[in-house]
Amino acid sequence: AQSVSQHNHHVILSEAASLELGCNYSYGGTVNLFWYVQYPGQHLQLLLKYFSGDPLVKGIKGFEAEFIKSKFSFNLRKPSVQWSDTAEYFCAVNTPGGYNKLIFGAGTRLAVHP
């Protein structure tokens, strides 16, 4: 069965620090990859997605992610975080034929201090 691992459960950064959140998935075939963000008290919002093509994907709010097939990874990055980036970040995967069912990682809770 497919699974998604997010290694960092809690991350604390100061404003302007760089961010990298790890995501690894276990599935040998073609996958689609997503990062969602959940701000406190809000719903999940799509940050970015990768289906095919350029493995470096740019999303909203200055986020980007890089798909490295050989490492089964899809890490999320942002060069300079802001206090408003405080949220929980979820990596998710689905597979062709999986009826679009999203499999989520456990999430990473990011706290950014001013």
Partner 1 sequence: DSGVTQTPKHLITATGQRVTLRCSPRSGDLSVYWYQQSLDQGLQFLIHYYNGEERAKGNILERFSAQQFPDLHSELNLSSLELGDSALYFCASSVGSGGLSTDTQYFGPGTRLTVL
The answer to whether the beta carbons of residues 80 and 18 sit under 8 Å apart is yes
Give the three-class secondary structure for 14. strand
Answer for which of 29, 53, 70, 100 binds partner 1 (CB under 8 A) is 100
**Distance between CA 99 and CA 96 in Å, rounded?**
7
Q: Is 5 in the site for partner 1 (CB under 8 A)?
A: no
Q: Which stretch binds partner 1 (CB under 8 A): 14-22, 55-63, 65-73, 99-107?
A: 99-107
The answer to whether the beta carbons of residues 61 and 85 sit under 8 Å apart is yes
DSSP state of 100: T
x-or-dash string of contact with partner 1, 20-59, rule CB under 8 A: ------------x-x-x-----xxxxx--x-x--------
The answer to whether the beta carbons of residues 71 and 55 sit under 8 Å apart is no
Q: Is 17 in the site for partner 1 (CB under 8 A)?
A: no
Q: Where do contacts with partner 1 occur on this chain (CB under 8 A)? A: 32, 34, 36, 42-46, 49, 51, 90, 92, 94-107
